[in-house]
């Protein structure tokens, strides 16, 4: 078979057939506890066999259908048959990062060549275009097919079932439905599960609070910061959020489970449990990580499940990007094996975590992120040689009684060329609480920050990811 078009079609068909072969319990739950008992509780050998089968099929598919991957294979001196197992992949294929994709998109605008979605395929069965939601660089766009949409709905339904979404629940979707993957994928999964939803886009907080009061949804979908904002809005209307029908707060977009002070505050204010999704647009467009009934143990760290029959999850060293052993803290890397449009190989998602492949008390056998995800490498703040994540500042400010739900980190350079950090918080007591905040930040982050204490309600609220870091330092 020498014709490139024929090779591209043949490898695509072989890839799609491989994906289909490893789907089970597609449309309805296989049991009360698991959407797909065969996959969710598969042995480690069974998981490895599925992953290896998919890797052997996806390598030639990408070589023939993505110019980005063909160039990378050729540059590394590899051919598709060199990648047939997880061990081959990790041992021979360097991680792909956002910069490499961004350079490809700049050279081949507007879509780049890092996906296998051609213009012809987009015209034939294109579904939706999404863009990356990271904090650095220009957005990278990804066109997905209707085949992908169905795969997303199935994978997300498995995760939602694990989070105890059941008949009788109503989900209030508090999102603007922008070009980001989380809400859209959940919407289709809820439809597959037959669960009703209340659309909440294009409303202010008061209107949304009134929907919670009037229609009594049992599950809220929003960012962690918006869960706090909506709670305060209900309180201004004279309603205690704990008296509403809300039993689950389903969050994503910002760290939630991993920040104990934030998690505790939200759950106590609502008297409801917090669950979350984890993923990225590039290599985990459907759910990557999700909570289960045992994700918040009475003692020990929280945990987040990762789907291994449709993805390969690993961590790498932050400095040299070498693969790490389970139990070592590193940056997340994902190989997506559940898409015809964007089956990325070893994409550097870039969140810090520690992986554990022991069986969860819920019975699932897939890898878990211990402590969930503690900060994305892109968000690391380097202030005069001291490195910290915004989440560490969040831990500090939220540990102080009476501190408001929002905070802001302002980085500036003074007239002497010294970089400074100012943390802006809200508190009824005004400047009298500033010293307490300063000391709490210093004890947790080993740096002295300036603190501004503002009146409650001063800082902006948003339904999207909260942009809490404003870096206005001089560029050197």
Q: pTM value? A: 0.84
Confidence (pLDDT) at 134: 45
Summarize the confidence of residues 436-450 as an average pLDDT. Answer: 83
At residue 67, does pLDDT exceed 70? yes
Residues with Cβ within 8 Å of 28's Cβ and at least 6 positions away in sequence, in order, are none
The third-level CATH classification (topology) of the domain covering 381-471 is GMP Synthetase; Chain A, domain 3 (3.30.300)
Confidence (pLDDT) at 136: 47
When the candidates are 3.30.750.210, 3.40.50.12780, 3.40.50.850, 1.10.730.10, the CATH number that belongs to 1-376 is: 3.40.50.12780
Domains 1-376 and 381-471 share a fold: no
pLDDT above 90 as % of the chain: 63
The model's pLDDT over 247-291, given as tens digits with 9 standing for 90+, comes to 999 998 777 888 888 899 999 999 999 999 998 888 888 999 999
Domain boundaries, the chain: 1-376, 381-471
The model's pLDDT over 360-393, given as tens digits with 9 standing for 90+, comes to 999 999 999 999 987 666 676 777 666 677 877 8
């Amino acid at each position: 078979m020498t014709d490139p078009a024929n090779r591209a079609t043949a490898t695509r068909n072989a890839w799609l057939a491989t994906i289909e072969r490893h789907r089970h319990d597609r449309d309805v739950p296989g049991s009360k506890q698991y959407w797909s008992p065969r996959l969710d509780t598969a042995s480690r050998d069974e998981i490895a066999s599925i992953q290896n089968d998919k890797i052997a099929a996806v390598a030639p598919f990408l070589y023939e259908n993505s110019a980005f991957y063909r160039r990378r294979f050729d540059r590394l001196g590899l051919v598709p048959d060199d990648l047939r197992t997880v061990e081959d992949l990790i041992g021979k294929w360097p991680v792909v990062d956002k910069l490499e994709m961004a350079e490809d998109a700049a050279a081949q605008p507007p879509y780049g060549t890092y996906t296998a979605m051609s213009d012809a395929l987009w015209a034939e069965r294109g579904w939706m275009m999404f863009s990356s939601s990271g904090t650095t660089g220009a957005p990278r766009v990804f066109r997905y097919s209707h085949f992908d949409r169905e795969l997303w709905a199935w994978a997300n339904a498995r995760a939602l079932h694990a989070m105890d979404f059941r008949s009788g629940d109503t989900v209030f979707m508090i999102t603007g439905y922008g070009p980001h993957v989380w809400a859209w994928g959940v919407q289709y999964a809820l439809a597959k599960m037959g669960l009703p939803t209340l659309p909440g886009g294009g409303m202010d907080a008061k209107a949304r609070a009134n929907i919670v009061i009037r229609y009594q949804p049992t599950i809220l979908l929003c960012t962690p910061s918006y869960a706090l904002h909506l709670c305060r809005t209900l309180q201004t209307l004279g309603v205690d959020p704990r008296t509403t029908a809300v039993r689950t707060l389903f969050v994503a977009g910002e760290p939630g489970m991993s920040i104990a002070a934030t998690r505790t505050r939200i759950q106590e204010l609502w008297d409801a449990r917090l669950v979350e999704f984890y993923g990225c647009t590039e290599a985990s467009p459907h759910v990557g990580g999700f909570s289960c009934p045992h994700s918040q143990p009475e003692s020990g760290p929280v945990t987040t499940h990762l789907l291994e029959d449709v993805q390969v999850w690993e961590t790498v060293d932050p400095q040299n990007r070498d693969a790490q052993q389970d139990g070592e803290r590193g940056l997340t890397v994902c190989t997506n094996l559940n898409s015809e449009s964007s089956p990325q190989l070893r994409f550097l998602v870039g969140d810090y975590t520690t992986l554990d492949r022991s069986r969860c008390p819920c019975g699932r056998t897939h890898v878990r992120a211990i402590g969930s995800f503690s900060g994305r490498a892109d968000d690391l703040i380097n202030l005069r040689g001291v490195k910290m994540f915004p989440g560490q500042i969040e831990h500090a400010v939220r540990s102080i009684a009476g501190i408001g739900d929002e905070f802001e980190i302002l980085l500036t350079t003074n007239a002497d060329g010294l970089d400074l950090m100012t943390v802006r918080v809200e508190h009824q007591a005004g400047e009298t609480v500033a010293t307490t905040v300063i000391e709490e930040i210093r004890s947790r982050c080993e740096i002295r920050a300036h603190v501004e204490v503002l009146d409650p309600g001063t800082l902006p609220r948003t339904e999207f990811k909260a942009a809490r870091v404003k870096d206005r330092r001089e560029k050197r």
